[in-house]
Amino acid sequence: MSHFLNVALATAKAGFIMRFFKGVPLLIGIAAVLSGVSGVQADDWNQWRGANRSGKVSNFPIPKTWPSSLTKKWSIEVGQGHSSPIIVGDKAYALVRKGDNEITYCLSMKDGKTIWQDTVSAPFDSVIFPAQKLGKAPRSTPLIAGGKLYITGVGGMMTCYDAATGKVLWRKDFASMFTVPMPICGAALSPLVDGKKIYIHAGQGDEGAFFALDKDTGKILWKWSGEGPAYSSPQIASIAGFRQIVTAAHNSWISLDPVDGKLLWRIPNRQNMFNHNSITPIIVGDTIITGANMRETIAYKISRAGGKWETAQLWATRNVTMSTSSPILDGNRIYAVNEKRRGQIVAMTLDSGQVFWACEGNKGENVTLYDVGADVLAFDAGGEMIVYNKTAKGLLQAAKYDVADSQVWASPAVSNNRILVKGAETLTLWEVPAR
């Protein structure tokens, strides 16, 4: 995340500030700033969905007129993977699979050349069709914080590297803790750093635990025992004036106290092996907008009175069901991907969930949406980047580019004018020409 405060002061300051602003709508990004991780700049793409995990891109240079083509800087073969690449400064990092091994790469953003790499054996077999279709490639996005790189393999093993040298600082394998150490389709949760802690969720089904680890040593600081993870990733937010972790468990959305892992509230969201929680929800103020594969999109109001937490449904709609594509928020607008009509980008109102604009569809099973200011970038499953202008009525297509020669499941990394796209086997750097 975007982190600018000193680590030693972060936890104390966070608790005071969040309670001081009780009742004031604070976005996730503000809570993220309080997490206290150094060494990451505002326009770095250092983790899942960018600096504050919201899909918003800082300092993107929107051209006055979008060009006929983007500039391809380099393209290299790296291996299979649905894990998103990340960009920090002049380096890129990627987690991929070749054969029975997972490979972590540190690459030069200048020319794509390997600076260092690490290879580990990663046996993984899935017994159900959806995971077989996706293969054995890793799904979790790497994270860089404080000069350290954290990755989670498809089998659930977590590794901490020195980001500059590739030296392994610690590894945590959850296989010995649980009968099944990861969800049936493989570990997809992208870790989250918060001050001295890094959060990870392991296990499967009703047997699991959410861990707070010391980010420097891997030591377990606390754990919440309960359901295993879904395929979403945790977030830190201030809700009803209290700083908390919000994440999807196997059959519910849960909130945990970052201090000790105490369960604050729980929203049941029952799923089976084919209905899954995969999206990263929108959290704004005390409202959470979420959904799941073949499930309605729902807004919840979270409140606290008399020392008790309450969750109340504000609205729900089956007109939009989100599967693997996470929504983005722009003021009172939600831009989301409806799994109906073979992948349909829609615009909805935050206060009611009403759809007021929709494209024709056919964007594929997975679409990544990023907010770059006046425009929205949509990366569809077929390897295209579609540029939409924001208008009063919805979105208006302004340009379209081929950015991959294969189906794309990984979300690209965007840093300033650089767009790093992971295809089936390749990693390609594109640049948006100067204004």
Residue 38 scores a pLDDT above 60: no
Gyration radius of the chain over CA positions: 20
Pick from 236-240, 289-293, 381-385: least confident: 289-293
In percent, the amount of the chain with pLDDT more than 90 equals 74
5-31 per-position pLDDT tens digit:
333 333 333 333 333 333 334 344 444
Return the bridge partners of 390, or none.
395
Mean pLDDT in residue range 372-384: 96
Please give the pLDDT value at position 40.
Answer: 80
- Contact by Cβ (8 Å): 233, 187: no
Rounded to two decimals, the pTM is 0.89
The CATH class, in words, for 7-324+413-431 is mainly beta
Return the bridge partners of 347, or none.
335, 357
Please give the pLDDT value at position 274.
Answer: 63
Tokens of 101: 């091994």
d(CA 68, CA 181) in angstroms, rounded, equals: 47
- Contact by Cβ (8 Å): 103, 118: yes
Please give the pLDDT value at position 293.
Answer: 82
383-403 per-position pLDDT tens digit:
999 999 999 999 999 999 999
Please give the pLDDT value at position 129.
Answer: 62
98-116 per-position pLDDT tens digit:
999 999 999 999 999 999 9
Confidence of residue 275 (pLDDT cuts 50, 70, 90): low
Please give the pLDDT value at position 34.
Answer: 37
Vertex 91: Cα angle to 401 and 27 (nearest 5): 75
Mean pLDDT in residue range 281-307: 94
Residue written as token pair 């150490």: 181
Looking at per-residue pLDDT, the higher value among 5 and 87 belongs to: 87
Please give the pLDDT value at position 41.
Answer: 86
Looking at per-residue pLDDT, the higher value among 122 and 132 belongs to: 122
| Helix-then-strand count for the chain, H and E | 3, 32
Please give the pLDDT value at position 88.
Answer: 98
Q: Which amino acid is at 430?
A: W
d(CA 185, CA 205) in angstroms, rounded, equals: 12
Backbone angles phi, psi at 286, to 5 degrees: -105, 20
Looking at per-residue pLDDT, the higher value among 25 and 150 belongs to: 150
132-149 per-position pLDDT tens digit:
667 788 999 999 999 999
Please give the pLDDT value at position 132.
Answer: 64
Please give the pLDDT value at position 180.
Answer: 84
199-212 per-position pLDDT tens digit:
999 999 899 999 99
